[in-house]
Structure 1
């Protein structure tokens, strides 16, 4: 994701532009972030990390007022693209997919409220990945 008037205009960044850009890195301790960083290392892709933060909450304000690039989960990026002066762009690499799993206590497996909540959560992630 980049700010709305960012000099990088293309819908998909080239690998060169991605590597040359200064990045905001979110190190939130999540498994998806860990997998992404491992994938970049595997592909021998090095970014210029200009700023590192530990949560997503301040990302839109920082990106909106800078020329930094940030890599976010698609669901987070699309939420911010609707709320701030930022836009999503495609990464230059085909990123690996991973399964997102829900867990619940067996005692709640047939609970109507729990079944409803599991469906709501699943619908959010299925609709945002298409």
Structure 2
């Protein structure tokens, strides 16, 4: 028997007949007219080449073939009801799901500790995995399901098919070591441009670079590095200055002999969002994760 030629709705008819042993009562139970139910029973008989249900007194009694089919049909119907038609919910207390986030290195420092603490509190089986990748690759990772949420500054994700939610605005500040011989409580633009700089590339810093280019301003970049976290020991042990997002500066101040100084320019502010693809928009687990992120990190 080729399943392509089988109307699976007939299994629902079979199950109703097995339960009610009456064409009229079975028809009422599944919302069919009695003629439609009689026609469906006839199709069942033709499909299995067996009478299946025969009248015995006031009831339609199952044949041996019907009784043999009954357990398998009941299992199918129970699976449909309990696993396919069941409303999808997410219970963090019992889930063993692993959530995968895309976030830069500074995102791991800022977001992961609080999010991990929330995971531990919500359920012992929850797991967290983070990925760092170029911005242009983030969309493909989300759309393919390799990751399900991105948190940070991802301008390439502001596009159709991708949902987003603003978390906070992140201004730029300068960081220098405490006791820097040339930097006091404030900087002039002339001082700022003359100082040796450490720059992070790639990273969110390119927004600042574009701003300087539009203004026709050039810094003396003595060092380029690939990670924001590399700046912490570099700035602390040198006379370099770095222009970084405020969240990165906060980490440096907390963990090293470093202080913040205002940038002597009206620099654009970074908008940090969480992004997720359409495929996860209605996923109960992803909805729970987004709610935690928003509650923990919203401005």
Range class of TM-score, shorter chain: 0.7 to 0.9
Runs of 4+ in 1 over 4 A off after TM superposition: 110-113
Structure 1 alignment gaps of length 5 or more = none
1:7-62 alpha-carbon deviations (Å, 9 max, x no partner): 2011x32101101100011112x3x3222111101112111111111111221101
- Quick one: distance in 1 between partners of 2:221 and 2:264? 17
**Which is worse superposed, 38-47 or 112-121?**
112-121
Report matched runs for 1:1-130 at 5 Å: 1-7=175-181, 8-10=183-185, 12-28=186-202, 30=203, 32-111=204-283, 113-122=285-294, 123-124=296-297, 126=299
CA drift at 1:112? 5.1
1:47-105 alpha-carbon deviations (Å, 9 max, x no partner): 11111111112211010011100011111111111111101111010111243332213
- Quick one: distance in 2 between partners of 1:92 and 1:120? 36
Cα distance change on mapping 1:38 and 1:83 into 2, 3 Å: same
TM-score (norm 1): 0.81
Larger Rg: 2
Cα-Cα RMSD: 2.0
Q: Which has the higher contact order (CA 8 A, sep 6+)?
A: 1
- Quick one: distance in 2 between partners of 1:93 and 1:60? 23
Higher normalized strand content (fraction of residues)? 2
- SS of equivalent residue, structure 2 residue 276: coil
- Quick one: distance in 2 between partners of 1:116 and 1:21? 46
Structure 2 alignment gaps of length 5 or more = 1-174
